[in-house]
Chains A and B, each alone.
Chain A
Amino acid sequence: MSAELQDFVNQPYKHGFVTDIESDVAEKGLSEDTIKMISSKKNEPEWLLEFRLKAYRGWLKMEEPTWSSVHYPKIDLQAISYYAAPKKKPQLNSMDEVDPELLRTFEKLGVPLHERMALAGVAVDVVFDSVSVATTYKKKLAEVGIIFCSMSEAVLEHPELVKKYLGKVIPAGDNFFAALNSAVFTDGSFCFIPKGVKCPMELSTYFRINTEESGQFERTLIIAEEGATVSYLEGCTAPAFSSNQLHAAVVELVALDDADIKYSTVQNWYAGDENGVGGVYNFVTKRGLAKGVNSRISWTQVETGAAITWKYPSVILKGDNSVGEFYSVALTNHHQQADTGTKMIHIGNNTRSTIVSKGISAGVSTNSYRGQVKITPNADDARNYSQCDSMLIGDQSGANTFPYIQVRNNSAQVEHEASTSKIGEDQLFYFAQRGIDAEAAVSMIINGFCKDVFQQLPMEFAVEATQLLGLKLEGSVG
């Protein structure tokens, strides 16, 4: 790899700073007492404590999975603090009341909150560490019957909805990390779109891990009733800490008849330094249930951060004619490891799924696509199209594609395409010969490569995604 290219891909993480806000941090370690403490801190009803304890007892019997291609030292789960909340926990009526330090944090991230809201009309449920400190546009959403709040608030104010759907798409015992999350989750977002309502704006949540060594266990639940439509945006950036942080989120989506949920993520957790020291371990379970007829669930993700990414946003296509989509860009550099992909489980008749995965590997990183397409015996006329492209930058990175295809119905049509390309000396020389430096060249090549995914993102998010890849796009997108 040329020195120029090396420099470019090795740009330091720009969001590495620590916000100085007093935190209320629990003692390290995990036990039934810890869980009871979390539950009582949050004034939770008895049934939720039971849910947590049951998950915990199941988790104790589970083994950490080893089937993926990621390698990391065993995580000491007793060395993690399971609860951290900003001490100044304000009851806010407007943005003006938000801690100015917090607002400055968002400024540094390039997300001026009020401006962003004003310009884009985005309601932002700010999750800072584990507790929501600012929820906006709530009233406007409430007028059309939409509930958009923190999970803690939903538990207290809409317990019947939470009880009905929590853990129904991803059961507490689904996997090691989902079980852990079910036991100790502290907060997250809750979103309910009632029958027939088209959500009038993009719903957006900014997650940030702020307290060093506090595990983050986000829990998000989105329900779209019959004919409802929602587009949800999740963005993540984290400060540059030297010790690893575990992030084990669970996101559940439920779409009833004719409902449509679009879930977009830009993930930029701290990836560790160029020697692979530090960085977030991102072990996330995301799954949507396309329960109703003609329902649609679409995942779009841009994964640029985290030392390890282990994540397979999936769709269970249960309703007849339901649609599942997965659009992914995963960028790894230095010692980052990503093992990401999706599962499309076809159960209903005439169900359709699309998978477009773009993996970019630089440095000595490894980037694996792992995807399952399963057509069950009763799913007549199911269709899947998968496209998995890898791009290598330099000659020390790796890319893998692991497609698992199980078809148990003869009427199915399943297509899989894969390609690997490389940004090397000749590509950069061509750009240089046209006066374009390496940075702009890589930017243009990468953005072209990712176009099929970026165009699935809401406009302002697509712009941010481009920036988060550390790249600048000259001029307008063609």
Chain B
Amino acid sequence: MIYQDSNTILEVQGLRACVNGKEILKGLDFTVRSGEVHAIMGPNGSGKSTFAKVLAGHTAYEVTAGTAVFEGRNLFELAPEERARAGVFLGFQYPIEIPGVANSQFLRLTYNTLQAQRGKEELDPLEFDDFVREKMKMLDMSPDFLDRSVNEGFSGGEKKRNEILQMALLEPKLGILDETDSGLDIDALGIVANGVNQLANKDNATVLVTHYQRLLNYIVPDFVHVMDAGQIIKTGGKELALELENRGYDWVGTEYREAMTTV
């Protein structure tokens, strides 16, 4: 939601980034203020997921130009774990599996790590158990899920719920959800979206990276951005998503190139 007294959470300017020497992001500007929900849409290969990973600090990507200021700090000077501790959360498109490590163990480690960083109280296993079960109800997750190995043998929907559960535990300033809707059936989509909506408040912000408009029926964005060839080429309100659903992406690119040639 757009608030009058909002603060800037993230401001990205002129961002360029490469992977294996190939430039993927080619001068990207992007601003997020507290309380807002942004959707980044675009065709496959447009650089949406790369943008999400660059913000979170994936080591495979090299930032070659531009700045990103997160809550007054230079984001690119922070290691990935420092960004997480500062409040950047990335919900993964393909969460990894960790055989032999109980989900409860992993969740408590990440929770306590961030609590310690914020100078807040860490929870022992029993306290944490109560705490996490409460959060799990919101996502309609069965308790046996805590004893299973992290993401091992999870269905696509279970993995995505686990990502949102982590977001609920970590309470980030900026939640970036990379293709969270992929692999979800319609019921799971509703549950996951409901979780995301419940977590949104006037102090944090959410960025949804998605290919399809479907998710945006459940999580209503304040802004919709269209990415193409490593740049944001169009920004609009929620109605832009519907237009994209009806007309596809090509026309946006055509319009953009025409506008560029006129200039």
Q: For window 419-452 of chain A, which residues contact chain B by CB distance below 8 Å?
A: 421, 425-437, 440, 444-445, 447-452
CA distance A44 to B113 in the complex (A): 60
Is B33 an interface residue, CB under 8 A from the partner? no
What mask results when residues 74 to 85 of chain B are scored 1 for a CB within 8 Å of chain A, else 0? 000001110111
B132 to chain A, nearest CB (A): 12
Secondary structure class of chain A's binding surface, majority of residues: helix
A359 to chain B, nearest CB (A): 15
The reply to whether B100 and A430 form a contact with Cβ atoms under 8 Å apart is no
Residue of B nearest to A427 (CB): B96
CA distance A450 to B100 in the complex (A): 8
The reply to whether B110 and A436 form a contact with Cβ atoms under 8 Å apart is yes
Is A2 an interface residue, CB under 8 A from the partner? yes
CA distance A268 to B84 in the complex (A): 36
The reply to whether A435 and B98 form a contact with Cβ atoms under 8 Å apart is no
The reply to whether A437 and B100 form a contact with Cβ atoms under 8 Å apart is no
B28 to chain A, nearest CB (A): 20
List the A side residues contacting B110 at CB < 8 Å. Answer: 434-436
Query: Which listed residue (B53, B60, B102, B117) contacts A478, Cβ 8 A?
Result: B102
B140 to chain A, nearest CB (A): 22
List the B side residues contacting A478 at CB < 8 Å. Answer: 101-102, 104-105, 147
The reply to whether A448 and B114 form a contact with Cβ atoms under 8 Å apart is no
Is A94 an interface residue, CB under 8 A from the partner? no
The reply to whether A430 and B95 form a contact with Cβ atoms under 8 Å apart is yes
B27 to chain A, nearest CB (A): 25
B100 to chain A, nearest CB (A): 3
Residue of B nearest to A440 (CB): B109
What mask results when residues 55 to 77 of chain B are scored 1 for a CB within 8 Å of chain A, else 0? 01111100000000000000000
List the A side residues contacting B57 at CB < 8 Å. Answer: 429, 432-433
Is A475 an interface residue, CB under 8 A from the partner? yes
Is A476 an interface residue, CB under 8 A from the partner? yes
Is B99 an interface residue, CB under 8 A from the partner? yes
What mask results when residues 147 to 184 of chain B are scored 1 for a CB within 8 Å of chain A, else 0? 10110000000000000001000100000000000000
List the B side residues contacting A434 at CB < 8 Å. Answer: 84, 110, 113, 166, 170
Is A474 an interface residue, CB under 8 A from the partner? yes
B106 to chain A, nearest CB (A): 7
The reply to whether B80 and A433 form a contact with Cβ atoms under 8 Å apart is yes
| A444-B101 in contact given A475-B112, A476-B125 (Cβ < 8 Å) | yes
CA distance A426 to B58 in the complex (A): 8
A263 to chain B, nearest CB (A): 24
Is B218 an interface residue, CB under 8 A from the partner? no
B207 to chain A, nearest CB (A): 14
List the A side residues contacting B53 at CB < 8 Å. Answer: 429
Interface size in chain A (residues, C-beta < 8 A): 29
The interface centre, meaning the residue of A429, A437, A476 with most chain B CB atoms within 10 A of its CB, is A429
Is A477 an interface residue, CB under 8 A from the partner? yes
What mask results when residues 10 to 38 of chain B are scored 1 for a CB within 8 Å of chain A, else 0? 00000000000000000000000000000
The reply to whether B58 and A448 form a contact with Cβ atoms under 8 Å apart is no
Is B48 an interface residue, CB under 8 A from the partner? no
Query: Which listed residue (B56, B100, B104) contacts A452, Cβ 8 A?
Result: B100
The reply to whether A429 and B113 form a contact with Cβ atoms under 8 Å apart is no
CA distance A477 to B53 in the complex (A): 31
List the A side residues contacting B149 at CB < 8 Å. Answer: 448
A437 to chain B, nearest CB (A): 5
CA distance A452 to B101 in the complex (A): 11
Is B249 an interface residue, CB under 8 A from the partner? no
CA distance A452 to B81 in the complex (A): 29
List the A side residues contacting B125 at CB < 8 Å. Answer: 475-476
CA distance A430 to B91 in the complex (A): 10
The reply to whether A474 and B101 form a contact with Cβ atoms under 8 Å apart is no
CA distance A444 to B102 in the complex (A): 10
The reply to whether B90 and A433 form a contact with Cβ atoms under 8 Å apart is yes
List the A side residues contacting B81 at CB < 8 Å. Answer: 431-433, 435-437
List the A side residues contacting B108 at CB < 8 Å. Answer: 475
List the B side residues contacting A449 at CB < 8 Å. Answer: 99-100
Q: For window 104-147 of chain B, which residues contact chain A by CB distance below 8 Å?
A: 104-106, 108-110, 112-114, 117, 125, 147
CA distance A430 to B56 in the complex (A): 10
Is B89 an interface residue, CB under 8 A from the partner? yes
B241 to chain A, nearest CB (A): 27
Is B212 an interface residue, CB under 8 A from the partner? no
Residue of A nearest to B101 (CB): A448
Query: Which listed residue (A2, A430, A435, A477) contacts B113, Cβ 8 A?
Result: A435
List the B side residues contacting A447 at CB < 8 Å. Answer: 100-101
CA distance A453 to B150 in the complex (A): 19
The interface centre, meaning the residue of B90, B100, B110 with most chain A CB atoms within 10 A of its CB, is B100
List the B side residues contacting A451 at CB < 8 Å. Answer: 100-101
What mask results when residues 19 to 62 of chain A are scored 1 for a CB within 8 Å of chain B, else 0? 00000000000000000000000000000000000000000000
B58 to chain A, nearest CB (A): 5
The reply to whether B96 and A475 form a contact with Cβ atoms under 8 Å apart is no
List the B side residues contacting A475 at CB < 8 Å. Answer: 105, 108-109, 112, 125
A156 to chain B, nearest CB (A): 47
The reply to whether B59 and A436 form a contact with Cβ atoms under 8 Å apart is no
CA distance A428 to B56 in the complex (A): 13
List the B side residues contacting A476 at CB < 8 Å. Answer: 105, 125
CA distance A436 to B105 in the complex (A): 13
The interface centre, meaning the residue of A436, A474, A477, A478 with most chain B CB atoms within 10 A of its CB, is A478
A-B contact pairs, 26 of them (CB 8 A): A2-B59, A426-B96, A428-B59, A429-B58, A430-B92, A432-B84, A433-B92, A434-B113, A434-B170, A435-B84, A435-B114, A435-B117, A436-B113, A440-B113, A444-B106, A444-B109, A448-B98, A448-B99, A448-B101, A448-B149, A448-B150, A474-B112, A475-B112, A475-B125, A476-B105, A478-B147
6 tightest Cβ-Cβ pairs between the two chains A and B? A448-B100, A478-B102, A448-B101, A432-B80, A434-B110, A451-B100
- Given A444-B101, A448-B99, A452-B100, list of 12 further CB < 8 A pairs? A430-B92, A430-B96, A431-B81, A432-B84, A433-B89, A434-B110, A440-B109, A444-B105, A444-B109, A449-B100, A474-B112, A478-B102
